[in-house]
Amino acid sequence: MEQLNKRVRDDLAKIQYATGNWCIPHFRDGRKVLDVAIIGGGQGGLAVSFGLRRRGIANSCVFDMAEQGSEGPWVTFARMITLRTPKYLTGPDLGIPSLTPQAWFEARYGAAAWHRLDKISRQDWQDYLCWIRDVLELPVKNGHRLTDVEWEDGLLKLTFELAGGVCETVWARKLVLATGIEGGGAWHVPEFISRGVPKARYAHTSEAIDFQALRGKRIGVLGAGASAFDNAATALEKGCASVDLCLRRTKIPSVNPYRWMENAGFLSYFSELPDLVRWRFMRRIYDLNQPPPQDTFWRCRSHRNFAFHTGTPWLAVREEGDEVVVTTPHGEMRFDFLIIGTGFVIDLAQRPELARVAPHVALWKNCFVPPEDEQSVLLGSHPYLGSRFQFLPADPADPAADMLSSIYNFTFSAMPSMGLSGASISALRFAVEKLTFGIGRDLFVEEGTLHLQNLLDYNVDELVSLDPPQ
């Protein structure tokens, strides 16, 4: 690892041309204003921080609400054994070989171990991200929860809540939201469940679950995605009495559109397509959904006390004595505990930190009318972004337009506008390149006349002698 760290430093030194900070300093209340504040210290936020520095935008900071080492899902609520992506995919390295997952894995475990490896474990991925943060000396502040975003005199005023309820104000010119899968809304539990039974009777797959307490219990799982199967497998491995996984689809999804999307054409240029074509791409991708990986499916099927039920949506739930009764089209099912794998909703209004922002943001349903037979309420709920991941106003005359153009949405909700981006390892390298180019473009163009004045004031002699050396 020490040898690899040295190789990283040597590689970066060889390509450091034009990476010096060029942004003009700003000050507010006696403090230096950040050029870019990045919310989220997971893989997306770290890659953006590194990408900005590669473009000479060093005055940035990453903020994350979690403790150091617990950013993102990998060692918190992710319950898969390995990543779902192939081991050869690259991301936060931004194309630098010594920063790739393979370079890190081989330095830690050896080249033979990499050759034998199928997919990287989620714990190793978290360790790799921690190494990226450390070896690149990325500026990250943990224990900072963003609670409010305001616009004052051309700057973003960010309010963070720290431990003990202490608040901190940070001023920034630009803001990147790299808050992952749920960053454009909230995890979703159907209302008939949250109203039908006490919270002690169910948990969403994104929550902390005491699986030891479920030992010997009958578990009902709702959902067809990979996280539903991950949680079912974990419950089985922890000794639950039985797991019944129910899904409304008549067939478990089997085609993974993410594998198709992993080509440079789609990853680079999807956002350049006309609205109708982007809409049709996304309808197909969302309709296919992402299936459980084969190994995850067999992880469940290896247990005799596991069953899955296709074409079995839950219609109602109620508590009856010590049991939870689930009503389905095929009759009632009785459980001791429910695990809800129904994903998330895209709704900026459900993000407390965006309370001032959400009412002004343009959504797809505001900007595009699909053909009558191609409607999608889900797609229409996503923000309709500009070419640089920036929010756009629903009303072009909205005074909030300048604020919105300074906020870049690098979450899963960018999908219909930008394709795979910040919430996907597969797209990181391509999406970060586009995002950081856009941020740098905005920072430079906004102060083009000041940069011109710097040139006019530039007076450093390169020719210093008219006489030949003796």
In sequence order, the β-bridge partners of residue 63 are 39, 141
Helix (H) or strand (E) holding 172: strand 167-177
Q: What is the pLDDT of residue 446?
A: 96
Q: Domain spans of the chain?
A: 2-184+345-453, 189-254+291-340
Reported as a single tens digit per residue, the pLDDT across 126-136 is: 999 999 999 99
CB-based contacts of 62, cutoff 8 Å, min separation 6: 38, 39, 40, 41, 45, 46, 48, 49, 138, 139, 140, 141
Question: For the domain 2-184+345-453, what is the CATH code?
Answer: 3.50.50.60
Q: What is the pLDDT of residue 470?
A: 81
Q: What is the pLDDT of residue 199?
A: 96
Whether the Cβ atoms of residue 113 and residue 105 lie closer than 8 Å to each other: yes
Q: What is the pLDDT of residue 290?
A: 79
Reported as a single tens digit per residue, the pLDDT across 344-396 is: 999 999 999 999 999 999 999 999 999 999 999 999 999 999 999 999 999 99
**Global pTM value:** 0.95
Q: What is the pLDDT of residue 289?
A: 78
CB-based contacts of 296, cutoff 8 Å, min separation 6: 80, 81, 226, 229, 230, 233
Q: What is the pLDDT of residue 288?
A: 85
Query: Residue 225 and residue 238: Cα distance in Å, rounded?
Result: 21
Q: Does domain 189-254+291-340 have CATH number 3.50.50.60?
A: yes
Which residues of the chain, if any, have pLDDT below 50?
A: none
Q: What is the pLDDT of residue 6?
A: 98
Q: Do domains 2-184+345-453 and 189-254+291-340 have the same CATH topology?
A: yes
Q: Which long-range contacts link 133-139 to residues 24+ away (Cβ below 8 Å)?
A: 133/41, 133/46, 135/5, 135/8, 135/9, 135/99, 136/8, 136/46, 136/50, 136/53, 136/99, 138/46, 138/49, 138/50, 138/62, 139/49, 139/60, 139/61, 139/62
Q: What is the pLDDT of residue 258?
A: 87
